[in-house]
Amino acid sequence: MQLAVPILLFTILASGFAQFTLRSWDDAYALANATVAKMTLDEKIGIVKGTGQLNGNRRCIGDTTAVTRLGVPSICFNDGPAGMRLTRNVTGFPAAINAASTFSKRLMRARGKAMAEEFRGKGAHVLLGPAMDIMRNPKAGRGWESFGPDPYLSGEGAFETITGIQSAGVQACAKHFLANNQEHWRYGLSANLHDRTMHEIYFYPFLRSIEADATSVMCAYNRFNGTSSCHHAGLLGPNGLLRKNGFKGYVVSDWGATHDSATENANAGLDMEQPGDFILIGGGVFAGILGIGELGGLKGAVQSGAVSNARLNEMVSRILAAWYRLGQDSGYPAVNFDAQKPDGSGPRNLHVNVRTAEHIALVREIGSASAVLLKNDRTTVNGSSIIRGLPLDKSKIKTIAVVGQDAKTPNKNCGDLNQCNDGTMSIGWGSGSNSLDFIVPPIDAINSFVGSSATITTSLSNDLNGGENAARNKDVCLVFANAMSGELGLVVGNDGDRNDLALWFKGGSLIERVAGVCSNTIAIVHSVGPVSFSWSNHPNITGIIYAGAPGEQTGPSLVDVLYGAYNPSGRLPFSIADKENDYGTAIVYLSGGFPDINYTEELLLDYRYMDAKNITPRFEFGFGLSYTTFGYSGLSITNSGSSKVISFKITNTGGVKGTEKPQLYLGYPGGAGEPPKVLRGFDEVDLNVGASSTVRMTLSQRDFSIWDTPSQSYVRPPGTFSVYVGASIRDIRLEGTF
């Protein structure tokens, strides 16, 4: 019987049978209200708070209490934003920052759906993601869990991911609301933002999440403008940001992010507390554990009238409505894993295998599509048949060096938070990490692809002399380096946030030593965000691939790009500058208590700051090379109702089939107070050699407005707008105005 379960489930997923009936919010609320009307006070309290992290019966990273007599199960919340965690036989997906690097809405959505199919297969109702925290500073520990520093790209990433997740009948949880932008002091720092900055940058991806109909939002650990995010009525309340913008789902706390009284939290708009108990950093306010908040917790507060029955009913209704809306009340798989036994042991782990061939192929495709080709000096060496640069030609390359610990498999015994750092970097650490069980490291994929066509010499450590020796007299040298960050936790001296922008383990020196003896050096960087590329102009470095955090199929996805089976089309979702100062923001590491962090840079993050301050980055936002070339022509700007339609033609002018990622930047009229250029559109265009295609992008009225604080609305500033279409923010090919 147990054996039949995985086989059956696999079939269901593979045949796309995981169908469900999407209800309207009205229908979902009608059902929820009717169920709530039958509940006792204790049953309601059991729905709005987790059963406790210390509860031995807990199955997931967070659970609610079932009301079996009414058919309501324990709702299962699980990490994380790059795939199921704390269980076996799941897929390790690429990080969200790689989804951003694809500049492909199709792949962003497909990734969300595939991850959700695995959550559903394991019986988890809520995927705790996507994260959409703006990468305010490149060293921010959890930056890789989200879509980078640009609000528009982050908004599209959030929208597509949520649409994908919920299309599999799994609830998405938009997090972390709001301005959760560094790890140091996160449990109490106050992010202080002006209204316009909040709307145009940090809230924008959440606005897109509401438009994608996210069923839940997670409030953050940090304070916002001095008040705890989880009891900030201006964020969560009836007239707060979320509800004013049409949010219909529920707000769940980050784990332990609640403080003060049950009354304050419930009345400010928090609908559910997780994990339910006090976990030292906070939590337990609804439970009312002795000494935390008010005695009697939420139940006492309702009994005394401090929290109204109507408010409690609303909280429960919102949670149940999300569950009814996605049809989770019918045919949803029961929880079949045990997050308290991540190794798959124990009687409650039923060994359901939710990996599918489609998911694995998708991870590989996104890995390739997110690899950014930063440099390619393709030249023929005199007197030799070797062509330097990329793609590599399997029939001509006879000797290969593979150098760097980042090419090999990591030691996987590094705890539930995946703080592995002695092998290839495929994902950062912490609750946003994912399974390393099936990782295929670069060296394995290179060995299996090359076979006997060439000899491979390796030095799979960062030993500088070893690397140099391996690299001598080779046709090509593949040198790997990385940098990592994560959620809290001291790893190689980095406490969540990175200390600096250097490659780890002297990776930069390793690359330079290899290049010193090898005139065809290809550098591959796996990183959670911008790093120093001070070595990029070295004449012997003929190719550079920035591969980000690509997930478990890291090796095969890279081989596809190196040998030309996949023509690279990844684009930088951030700028790579030479100095940290070039980014204009800082992480606050040292403070005599929880700091106030004033976001005084306002709208000027990343390329917006660099453009405004005339700083030339080494590699700019949106940049990425291809093995072919593309021509742009025929810009036209027309009206369509209150929108503008921008269209132009792209032609593949090079020698191989490829994919272009055209980008639309908007220049506001002077006086609007906007940066010189802001991203407002991107697309994905596959073209055979010589073929052309017309691209259309629509700018809505909101897309060419600014947030106007006095009127609390988006307003179009007067004057002439510039439209820039190009292959990156600094490679503008077409310009127009309206």
Binding stretches for ligand NAG (CB under 6 A): 6, 26, 29-30, 33, 88-89, 192-195, 225, 234, 313-314, 317, 344, 351, 353, 382, 515-519, 539-540, 596, 598
Q: Which residues contact 536 (CB under 8 A, 6 or more apart)?
A: 374, 375, 523, 544, 618, 619
Nearest alpha carbon to residue 366 among 113, 652, 9, 621: 113
Smaller CB separation from ligand NAG, 371 or 517: 517
DSSP character string of 170-199: -EEEEEEETT---STTTTT-EEE--HHHII
Smaller CB separation from ligand NAG, 132 or 597: 597
Nearest alpha carbon to residue 704 among 664, 662, 656: 664
Structure-token pair, residue 676: 């010189």
In sequence order, which ranges of 134-293 are alpha helices (DSSP H)? 151-167, 195-197, 204-211, 233-236, 241-244, 262-268
Degrees, nearest 5: CA angle 700-372-127: 65
Q: Tell me how far, at minimum, the Cβ of 192 lies from ligand NAG, in Å.
A: 6
Contact between 670 and 721 under an 8 Å Cβ cutoff? The reply is no
Query: In Å, what is the CA distance from 653 to each residue of 390, 449, 543, 609, 650?
Result: 18, 30, 22, 33, 9
Q: Tell me how far, at minimum, the Cβ of 111 lies from ligand NAG, in Å.
A: 22
Nearest alpha carbon to residue 150 among 172, 160, 130, 135: 135
Q: Tell me how far, at minimum, the Cβ of 39 lies from ligand NAG, in Å.
A: 13
Question: Buried b vs exposed e over 467-503: b needs ≥16 C-beta within 10 Å?
Answer: bbebbeebbbbbbbbbbbbbbbbebeebbbbbeebbb
Contact between 171 and 78 under an 8 Å Cβ cutoff? The reply is no
Rounded Cα gap, residues 415 and 432, in angstroms: 14
- Calculate Rg over the CA atoms of the chain: 26
User: Could you give the count of Cα atoms lying within 13 Å of 658 in the half-sphere of its Cβ?
Assistant: 26
Q: Tell me how far, at minimum, the Cβ of 233 lies from ligand NAG, in Å.
A: 9
Q: Tell me how far, at minimum, the Cβ of 316 lies from ligand NAG, in Å.
A: 9
Which amino acid is present at 348? R
Smaller CB separation from ligand NAG, 381 or 492: 381
Smaller CB separation from ligand NAG, 539 or 593: 539
Catalytic residue set: 254
Q: Tell me how far, at minimum, the Cβ of 10 lies from ligand NAG, in Å.
A: 8
Q: Tell me how far, at minimum, the Cβ of 247 lies from ligand NAG, in Å.
A: 15
Q: Tell me how far, at minimum, the Cβ of 280 lies from ligand NAG, in Å.
A: 27
User: Could you give the count of Cα atoms lying within 13 Å of 70 in the half-sphere of its Cβ?
Assistant: 19
3-state SS of 406-422 is: HHCCCCCCCCCCCCCCC
Smaller CB separation from ligand NAG, 605 or 687: 605
Structure-token pair, residue 294: 């008010």
Residue given tokens 């700018």 in the structure block:
699
Smaller CB separation from ligand NAG, 403 or 517: 517
Contact between 132 and 205 under an 8 Å Cβ cutoff? The reply is yes
Burial class (CB in 10 A: 0-12, 13-18, 19+), 465: exposed
Phi then psi for residue 175, to 5 deg, are -145, 160
Rounded Cα gap, residues 371 and 375, in angstroms: 12
Rounded Cα gap, residues 142 and 433, in angstroms: 10
Contact between 112 and 130 under an 8 Å Cβ cutoff? The reply is yes
Smaller CB separation from ligand NAG, 107 or 132: 132
Smaller CB separation from ligand NAG, 519 or 693: 519
Phi then psi for residue 570, to 5 deg, are -70, 150
DSSP character string of 301-343: HHHHTSS-HHHHHHHHHHHHHHHHHTTTTSSPPPP---TT-TT
Smaller CB separation from ligand NAG, 489 or 516: 516
Contact between 218 and 174 under an 8 Å Cβ cutoff? The reply is yes
Smaller CB separation from ligand NAG, 337 or 668: 337
Indicate the residue whose CB is closest to ligand NAG. Answer: 344
Q: Tell me how far, at minimum, the Cβ of 600 lies from ligand NAG, in Å.
A: 7
Smaller CB separation from ligand NAG, 465 or 639: 465
Smaller CB separation from ligand NAG, 235 or 445: 235
Contact between 36 and 19 under an 8 Å Cβ cutoff? The reply is no
Contact between 118 and 83 under an 8 Å Cβ cutoff? The reply is yes
Rounded Cα gap, residues 368 and 568, in angstroms: 7
Q: Tell me how far, at minimum, the Cβ of 471 lies from ligand NAG, in Å.
A: 9
Q: Tell me how far, at minimum, the Cβ of 193 lies from ligand NAG, in Å.
A: 6
Q: Tell me how far, at minimum, the Cβ of 288 lies from ligand NAG, in Å.
A: 23
